A and B are shown apart, each in its own frame.
Chain A
Amino acid sequence: MISTLFKLSWVFLKIGAFTFGGGIVIIPMVQNEVVFKYGWLTQAEFVDAVTLGQVTPGPIIISATFIGYKACGILGAVVATASVILPSFVMICLATEAIKRFRENKMLANFLRGARVAVIGMVFDAAVCLGRTSLVDIKTVLIAAASIICLFKYKLNPIWVLLGAGVVGLLM
């Protein structure tokens, strides 16, 4: 039991520290370790874990919780989730502090200036990709249009807009 916990923690620390980009990119690596190397889950169970990770809120890496639970119960779920978050948590805090210190550096400032604009492009891209998968019928298109109007014209709190959409989804 203890050794499984250590292995779980090691695997997810690795995944948290060495995967770039977000979302789907990490899935093959996780599959390799969890299904083929340690056999904590079967292939079918792994697919279900990823599906659940996608439909629930939060990042897709939350499937680590599911995998941890399957391998070692509640304790495993806690260990896996904490391990996968820890590396990026530490790195982000250190990097934010470093940026603050080197803000005077012209190279870094110009790098950030260019990269910031690219991020806006990525937000547009996310809108298109999300739209492709989520806008499947008239109902969803109407909801998207209504939420744009609410956010732009009436400047509603986005949480309320999302909550409203959830209620509509429950009722229909």
Chain B
Amino acid sequence: MHIFASAADTVKTESLKLVAEAWQQAWELYNKLGDTKKAKELEKLLAALYKKKYAQVKAANGQQSTVLEWFNDWLLFLKIGCFGFGGPMAVFSLLEAELVQRKRILTHDDFLEGAVLGDVLPGPVTMDIVTYTGYKLKKWSGAANSTLFFILPSFVLMVILAILYDMYRITPKVQNVFMCLGAAVVGLVVSVAIRLARTEMKDYRELCILIWAFASSLIFNLDIVVIVGLAGVVGIVLYHKDSEKEQL
């Protein structure tokens, strides 16, 4: 029985792999041809497929390697927790690069929605985005996992610094060491921003919203909640006609 079950599973994963490869090629082709709508649909399908594969590989591996899989999951967030410099959008870029561009478990849209939620709901935005990602991957247990392991490195470091501070009454010069990391984070954020703008911009209306959001936060220092909320309202007004057309 067991042999049969595992054999079926390998066949399934094999065929999934084939389908994934075919879709991947189609996706690249569509992108080359400039048919962004089709490409986007495929991207969504691919994400679902990869997620299925991710779950299935996990199920197929069974008990012997659940420890290893679990280890992989939290290692990812531990890694990102160690390098989460530079505020919410830097962490956002890091997660985006890892989960959307490399592993393809989530789509661009999933991610941007997480950031919207984080900005609109109270609480620190960085934590919101991390929790959201975990929840998307594996519901409550995923969310608990991601939050816990994301915060762990900074928590430990902070406790150590606090103990040092109490003993010597000084703040160690960690700042110098982290300066170069800050510069690399700038590069990361820039590259993710450009990539996102490229894939998400469909017409001039979206470009207008983007430029407006950018300018109002940079020049007028408007609050994030206000900007994202207003853009949402603008979206309701702008796309109202579109969705009516689609219904007809």
Contact = CB atoms under 8 A, between A and B. Distances in A.
A39 interface: no
Given A62-B158, A114-B209, A121-B217, A16 B184 contact: no
Interface of B: 79-94, 97-98, 101-102, 109, 112-113, 115-128, 131-132, 135-136, 140, 143-144, 147, 150-151, 153-155, 157-159, 161-163, 165-166, 171, 174-193, 196-197, 200, 206, 209-214, 217-218, 223-225, 227-236, 238-240, 243
B214 A130 contact: no
B135 A157 contact: no
Contact of A120 (B158, B162, B197): B197
Q: Which of B86, B157, B213 has the most CB of A within 10 A?
A: B213
A162 B85 CA distance: 10
A21 B224 contact: yes
Contacts of B214: 121-122, 124-125
18 contacts: A19-B122, A58-B153, A77-B158, A81-B151, A91-B123, A110-B235, A110-B236, A114-B209, A115-B120, A119-B115, A122-B217, A126-B90, A127-B193, A130-B189, A147-B187, A147-B191, A152-B191, A169-B179
B125 A131 contact: no
A85 B231 CA distance: 27
Nearest to B173: A55
Given A85-B127, A89-B147, A127-B190, A112 B116 contact: yes
Contacts of B165: 48, 52, 66
A119 B79 CA distance: 24
B41 to A, nearest CB: 16
A32 interface: no
B200 A130 contact: no
Contacts, number: 364
Interface in A26-65: 26, 48, 51-53, 55-63, 65
Interface of A: 16-23, 25-26, 48, 51-53, 55-63, 65-66, 69-70, 74, 77, 81, 84-85, 87-89, 91-93, 95-96, 99, 106-107, 109-131, 133-136, 139-141, 143-148, 150-152, 155, 157-159, 161-166, 168-170, 172
B231 A123 contact: no
Contact of A143 (B162, B187, B193): B187
